[in-house]
């Protein structure tokens, strides 16, 4: 029997309306370290989980705090379009950032998920 591996979760982000409160709670509860990073739209707290997975806390207008997993993909445009064909709403079309591209999909039965394509993967594929 062949075992097929799924795509890896590489980043976990908490969307909340209380950045400082969430950082303090998880620091005290689980000893997760946070580092404040200034970004264009306010601040972001990077999280160190103590393993290969990284994360962050984003302050936004969320009425209820929600965790958003980021899954690494090879072709963000193609996977985003596949999600759309499967019935997902595209909440964020593929968008470039300093380290790569991301998009966000949502379904009523599956919740929200972010897709992530790091720049080094794209550059490796071209070389």
Q: What's residue 57's pLDDT?
A: 93
| Number of domains within the chain | 2
Give me the mean pLDDT over the 55-69 stretch: 91
Residue 77 lies in a domain: yes
DSSP secondary structure letter of residue 98: S
Residues 114 and 97 reside in one and the same domain = yes
More confident residue, 5 or 68: 68
Number of neighbouring beta carbons within 10 Å of residue 57: 25
CATH (domain of 19): 3.10.180.10
Predicted confidence band of residue 4 (pLDDT cuts 50, 70, 90): low
Residue 2 lies in a domain: no
Beta-sheet pairing, 9-16 with 66-72: antiparallel
CA distances (Å), origin 15, targets 20, 30, 119: 12, 18, 24
Q: C-alpha dihedral over 116, 65, 83, 124, to 10 degrees?
A: 0
Residues 53 and 94 reside in one and the same domain = no
Residues 104 and 57 reside in one and the same domain = no
Is 21's pLDDT higher than 60? yes
pTM greater than the 0.85 cutoff: no
- For residues 69 and 36, what is the distance between their CA atoms, to the nearest angstrom? 20
The token pair at 126 is 């071209």
């Amino acid at each position: 029997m062949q075992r097929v591996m799924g795509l890896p979760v590489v980043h976990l982000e908490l969307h909340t309306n209380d950045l400082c409160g969430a950082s303090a709670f998880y620091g005290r509860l689980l000893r997760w370290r946070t580092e404040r990073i200034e970004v264009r739209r306010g601040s972001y707290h990077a999280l160190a989980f103590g393993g290969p997975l990284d994360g962050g806390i984003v302050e936004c207008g969320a009425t209820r705090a929600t965790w958003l997993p980021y899954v690494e993909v090879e072709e963000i445009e193609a996977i985003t379009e596949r999600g759309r064909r499967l019935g997902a709403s595209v909440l964020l079309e593929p968008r470039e950032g300093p380290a790569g591209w991301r998009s966000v999909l949502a379904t009523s039965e599956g919740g929200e998920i972010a897709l992530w394509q790091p720049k080094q993967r794209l550059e490796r594929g071209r070389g």
